[in-house]
């Protein structure tokens, strides 16, 4: 048996969620009694169960005599570029409009792969942007205009 980092991390995650939600339910909400339940009772009960499960999972992970080999690292590259792409869509969708914003986010997202080169990525993003504008704004009639408020003043 090896000590499992995964199990310990999963347990820690459950414990953290259990504590956070339990704290909010117990102190931020009316708990009430079983006869007259407040909004906090059900979440508080769930948080306590979750906390207990977290302890058990972490304890299971500790059952071992040697440390498991280190697992693969965190894939920062895809995480950063893909999150940046979605956040950019949220920030700029209405100001830029469908075509420019789709172009922007697919261009950003494509760099989640290390091998991506600038020129092919530009070309591909342009194609996807045109395709999405045709499909969603013209085809399905989504109320997001092809060019946003920035281009209309």
Residues that bind another protein (CB under 8 A): 6-7, 9-10, 13-14, 17-18, 21, 24-25, 29-30, 33-40, 42-43, 46-47, 49-50, 53-54, 56-57, 60, 72, 75, 77-79, 82-83, 85-87, 89-91, 93-94, 98, 102, 105-107, 109-110, 112-113, 115-116, 124-125, 128-129, 131-132, 136, 140-144
What does the alpha-carbon distance between residue 50 and residue 125 come to, in Å, rounded to a whole number?
44
Cβ-based nearer residue to another protein, 3 or 46? 46
Q: Is the Cβ–Cβ distance between 73 and 127 less than 8 Å? A: no
Question: Helices marked H in 29-114 — which ranges?
Answer: 41-62, 76-96, 98-110
Q: What minimum distance in Å lies between the beta carbon of 66 and another protein? A: 20
What does the alpha-carbon distance between residue 121 and residue 114 come to, in Å, rounded to a whole number?
12
């Amino acid at each position: 048996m090896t000590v499992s980092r995964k199990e310990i991390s999963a347990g820690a995650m459950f414990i953290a969620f259990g504590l956070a939600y339990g704290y909010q339910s117990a102190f931020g909400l009316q708990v009430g009694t079983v006869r007259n339940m407040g909004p906090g009772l059900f979440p508080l009960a769930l948080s306590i169960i979750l906390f207990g499960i977290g302890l058990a999972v972490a304890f299971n992970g500790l059952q071992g005599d040697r440390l498991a080999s280190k697992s693969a690292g965190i894939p920062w590259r895809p995480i950063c570029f893909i999150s940046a792409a979605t956040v950019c869509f949220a920030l700029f969708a209405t100001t830029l409009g469908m075509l420019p914003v789709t172009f922007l986010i697919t261009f950003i997202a494509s760099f989640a792969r290390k091998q991506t080169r600038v020129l092919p990525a530009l070309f591909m993003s342009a194609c996807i942007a045109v395709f999405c504008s045709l499909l969603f704004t013209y085809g399905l009639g989504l109320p997001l205009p092809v060019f946003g408020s920035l281009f209309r003043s």
